Amino acid sequence: MSTPHSVDPGSVPPPLVTNGAVRLAVFEQGNPDGETLVLVHGWPDTHELWQHVIPHLADRFRIVSYDTRGAGASSAPTAVSAYALQELAKDLFAVIDAVSPDAPVHVLAHDWGAVESWEAVCEPGAERRIASYTSISGPNLDHLGAWMRRSLAQGRVAGPLAQAAASAYTVLFQIPGVGTLPFRLGLWRIWPTFLRFFDRMDPSLVRPSPTLRSDMVTGLKRYRANIRPRLRHPRERRTDVPVQLILNRRDLAVRPVGYEDTGRWVSDLRRRELPAGHWSPVSHGRDVARLTAEFVDDLRRDTATDSLGAGSA
Mean confidence (pLDDT) of the chain = 90
As a whole-number percent, the residues of the chain with pLDDT over 90 amount to 73
Q: Write the pLDDT tens digit of every residue in 155-174.
A: 888 877 888 777 777 776 77
Q: At what angle do helices 221-232 and 212-219 cross, to 10 degrees?
A: 30
Three-state DSSP class for 20? Answer: coil
| Chain segment 9-46, per-residue pLDDT in tens | 445 678 899 999 999 999 999 999 999 999 999 999 99
Q: Where are the beta strands (DSSP E) in the chain?
A: 16-19, 22-30, 36-40, 62-66, 105-110, 130-136, 243-248, 269-274
Start-end of H helices in 122-220: 141-153, 158-166, 169-173, 181-184, 191-199, 212-219
3-state secondary structure of 243: strand
pLDDT of residue 185: 76
CA 18/CA 265 separation, integer angstroms: 31
Structural contact between residues 243 and 135, judged by C-beta atoms closer than 8 angstroms: yes
pLDDT at 283: 97
pLDDT digits (tens, 9 = 90+) for 79-91: 999 999 999 999 9
Map out the domains of the chain with their CATH numbers.
16-312 (3.40.50.1820)
Determine the average pLDDT of the residues in 296-306: 85
3-class DSSP state of 155: coil
Cα–Cα distance for residue pair 302/151, rounded to 1 Å: 33
> In the beta sheet, which residues pair with residue 17?
24
Q: Determine the average pLDDT of the residues in 277-291.
A: 98
pLDDT attached to residue 312: 58
Quote the CA–CA distance of 160 and 149 in Å, as a whole number.
Answer: 9
**What is the 8-class DSSP label of residue 52?**
G
From 48, 54, 51, select the one nearest 68 (Cα to Cα): 48
